[in-house]
Each structure stands twice: as C-alpha cells, then as structure tokens.
Amino acid sequence: MIAEGLLYTKDHEWAKIEGNTATVGITDYAQQMLGEITYVELPAVGKEFRSHDEMAVVESSKSAGDVYSPVTGTVSEVNPKLASNPELINDDCCGAGWLCKLTITDTKSIENLMNTKQYEEYLKGL
C-alpha cells in the first residue's frame, strides 16, 4: 500500500510537498517493519535539518529506528497527537500519523526523492 501524491526516500520516509512546506512521515513499509509503535521522539520546532540528517526516533516494542529528514528545511510544526497516541503511525502512517512539517529552505533537496512508482520499484528490489 503506497499512498499517491507523496515523495519517498530510500530510508522509507515520505514527504508531501505543498508550496514550500513539506509534511513528513514514515511509510507503511517502515511502520510494518517496526511493529507496534510505542514512542516517538520529535525534533524541536525551529530546528534546521539538511536532507538525510537524523531528525526523529520512532520506538516500537521490539526496536527503534531513526527517521532522516527527506528535505532540507526548518521544522515549523510537529504532530502534537503523537505524544499520547504514537500508534497513529501504525493506524494511518501517511495521514494522521505524520511526524512534522518543515519549511523547505533548499528546493533542490526535493529533486532526489522518489515518486510513488519509483518507490514501488525500489520496494520490489529489497
């Protein structure tokens, strides 16, 4: 199950680009690999990341995974619901389970992301 209209990284993050804002989350593949998610460590609003920088940590009952920023930008908002309901990521990883929003500061950083079709192909090769 791969959502349409999103861009993807090889580390299984997705980004939804609207103007200069990127909403970021982890993909269905990633949430399935992690299992039941119990905690998310989100970045502070205002923090700057370059694409591929470690941005967040998603913890599950059996594992923990780093989330890398798919774009270069500044955190403008984090999902406030994840603190008490981290399982939103399992339930709706590409919707209600988004992690944070970034204001993109380098539009070139989007160019390396995969579209739905490319990500589908990439998953088949894993």
Partner 1 sequence: MPFIANTPDQQKQMLAEIGLTMDGLFADIPPELMCASFNLPAGLSEQQVRNHLAELADKNSTNLICFLGGGFYDHFIPAAVYSIISRGEFYTSYTPYQPELSQGTLQAIYEYQSVICRLTEMEAANASLYDGGTAMYEAMMMALRITGRNKVIIDDTVNPIYRVMIRSYTRNLNIELEQTHSIDGLANRQQILQKIDDKTAAVILQNPNFFGCIDDFTDIANAAHQKGALLIVSCYPISLGILKAPGSMDADIVTGEGQSLGMPMSFGGPYLGFMATKMQYVRKMPGRIVGETKDRFDRRAFVLTLQAREQHIRRDKATSNICSNEALCALTALVYLSLLGKKGLKQTAQLCADKASYAYQRLTAIPGVKPHFRAKWFFNEFVLDLPREAADVIAKLIEKGFAAGFPLSRYYEGMENSMLICVTEKRTKQQIGMLAEALESIL
Report the alpha-carbon distance of residue 60 to residue 28 in Å, rounded: 14
Residue of 5, 20, 32, 39 interacting with partner 1 (CB under 8 A) = 39
Closest distance of CB 53 from partner 1, Å:
13
Query: Taking CB under 8 A as the rule, does residue 50 contact partner 1?
Result: no
3-state secondary structure 43-67: CCCCCEECCCCEEEEEEECCCEEEE
Out of 10, 33, 35, 64, the only residue in the binding site for partner 1 (CB under 8 A) is 64
Stretch of 15-23, 55-63, 88-96, 118-126 contacting partner 1, by CB under 8 A: 55-63
**Out of 66, 91, 120, 121, which residue is the one contacting partner 1 (CB under 8 A)?**
66
The helices-and-strands tally (H runs, E runs) of the chain is 3, 9
Cβ 57 to partner 1, closest distance in Å? Answer: 8
Say whether residue 115 binds partner 1 (CB under 8 A).
no
Classify residue 123 as exposed, middle or buried by CB count within 10 Å of its CB (0-12, 13-18, 19+).
middle
Distances (CA, A) of 117 to 9, 29, 52: 12, 15, 21
Site residues, partner 1 (CB under 8 A): 38-39, 41, 57, 59-60, 62-64, 66
